[in-house]
């Protein structure tokens, strides 16, 4: 049976998605602050058989650069949930990196509060739980202070930080993204009841492993914590081990699915 064409709205939110006729699982991936769906593109053909990659492209980057980025987590969820839920008619899991972990957690909470489908699992990488977010709200700093903090995270190339016109173009998105990543816990902060895997970098100066341990309180189901070589952006410097861990987690979660 031929796969139906992708609606334009899904094409905008999932630019690299290649729909499978009968996916065993859909993996929704959300990026770090300033990142895009492209960070996950290499995963498409390396996930377990039957897993459909759904890498989310948020407004304010790449082809969506001229769309204002969301700085309010509830406002983002209001537009994101109607995009995600039609694709949650199959078993699914979420992967969020840094800011993406914060968004993914709220997706799980919103699904629970709305009586929506239950994820098979959630992978949170390079992010503390919001209950123990000790990071400075750098999005509130003036431009020189904010740029100095971006350098400390080592996620924005120096040539971009030195390029005045390009920096002016992307700075609003970066500020909005860090506001999302810093978002405080909402009213619906009770523990989830789904398996949770937590990935952390051994040399991450911003999210130490002591903070990662607090994710254990975020789910009443199994919580596994994994350490990887590298700093905050270990997904870039040690990508193969991260992908191997994702494959292992998804395979375990899919085992009961027929």
Catalytic residues: 98
Q: By the 8 A CB rule, do 126 and 234 touch?
A: yes
CA dist 136 and 207 (Å) reads 12
Question: How far apart, in Å, do the first and last CA atoms of the chain sit?
Answer: 20
CA dist 16 and 50 (Å) reads 16
**DSSP letters of 82-132?**
HHHGGGTTS-EEEEEETHHHHHHHHHHHHHHHTT-PPPSEEEEES---GGG
CA dist 28 and 37 (Å) reads 10
Burial per residue of 128-157, b for 16 or more beta-carbon CB atoms within 10 angstroms, e otherwise? bbbebbeeeebbebeeeebbebbeebebbe
How far, in Å, are 64, 69, 205 from residue 107 at the CA level?
21, 18, 27
Tell me 59's DSSP state. T
């Amino acid at each position: 049976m031929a796969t139906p064409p992708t609606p334009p709205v899904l094409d905008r939110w999932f630019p690299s998605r290649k729909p499978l006729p009968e996916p065993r699982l859909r993996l929704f991936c959300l990026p770090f602050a300033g990142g895009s769906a492209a960070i996950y593109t290499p995963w498409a053909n390396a996930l377990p058989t039957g897993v459909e990659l759904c890498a989310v492209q948020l407004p304010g980057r790449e082809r969506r650069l001229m769309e204002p980025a969301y700085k309010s987590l509830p406002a983002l969820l209001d537009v994101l949930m109607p995009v995600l839920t039609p694709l949650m008619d199959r078993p699914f899991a979420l992967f969020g990196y840094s800011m993406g972990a914060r968004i993914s957690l709220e997706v799980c909470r919103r699904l629970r509060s709305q009586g929506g489908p239950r994820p098979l699992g959630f992978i949170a990488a390079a992010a503390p739980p919001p209950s123990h977010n000790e990071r400075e709200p750098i999005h509130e700093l003036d431009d020189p202070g904010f740029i100095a903090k971006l350098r400390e995270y080592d996620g924005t190339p120096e040539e971009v930080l030195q390029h005045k016109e390009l920096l002016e173009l992307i700075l609003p998105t970066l500020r909005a993204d860090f506001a999302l990543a810093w978002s405080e816990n909402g009213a619906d902060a009770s523990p989830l009841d789904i398996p949770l895997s937590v990935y952390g970098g051994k040399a991450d100066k911003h999210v130490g492993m002591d903070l990662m341990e607090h994710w254990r309180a975020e789910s009443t189901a199994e919580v596994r914590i994994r350490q990887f070589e590298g700093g905050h952006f270990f997904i870039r410097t040690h990508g193969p081990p991260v992908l191997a861990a994702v494959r292992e987690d998804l395979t375990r979660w899919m085992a009961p699915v027929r």
